[in-house]
């Protein structure tokens, strides 16, 4: 199935990707950000906060965006 995946790491990504049926949010994170920590990202599915065990559905929109952007 295909989902829309948004991430700013590397060259940046905002496009359709193919994932296996039954893929969970945590599995996608491990695949796409293998050296990242989930605590460094806000993970949303269809613009809503999600849980790590949520199973992705065809057409879902998944974004990994940075958190704690702070200056002083």
Residue 16 near other proteins by CB under 8 A:
no
Among 2, 40, 55, 59, binds other proteins (CB under 8 A): 40
Which residue is it, tokens 């049926």?
Answer: 21
- Are residues 9 and 33 in contact, defined by beta-carbon separation less than 8 angstroms? yes
* H/E stretch holding 25: helix 25-32
Residue 72 near other proteins by CB under 8 A:
yes
Among 2, 3, 9, 28, binds other proteins (CB under 8 A): 9
Query: What are the backbone angles phi and psi of residue 42, rounded to the nearest 5°?
Result: -95, 120
Summarize as ranges the residues that interact with other proteins (CB under 8 A). Answer: 6-14, 36, 40, 42, 44, 47, 61, 63, 65-72
């Amino acid at each position: 199935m295909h989902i829309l995946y948004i991430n700013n790491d590397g060259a940046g990504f905002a496009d359709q990707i193919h994932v296996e049926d039954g893929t969970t949010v945590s599995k996608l994170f491990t695949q796409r950000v293998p050296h990242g920590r989930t605590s460094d990202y806000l993970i949303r599915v269809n613009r809503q906060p999600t849980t790590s065990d949520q199973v992705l559905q065809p057409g879902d929109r998944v974004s990994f965006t940075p958190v704690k952007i702070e200056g002083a």
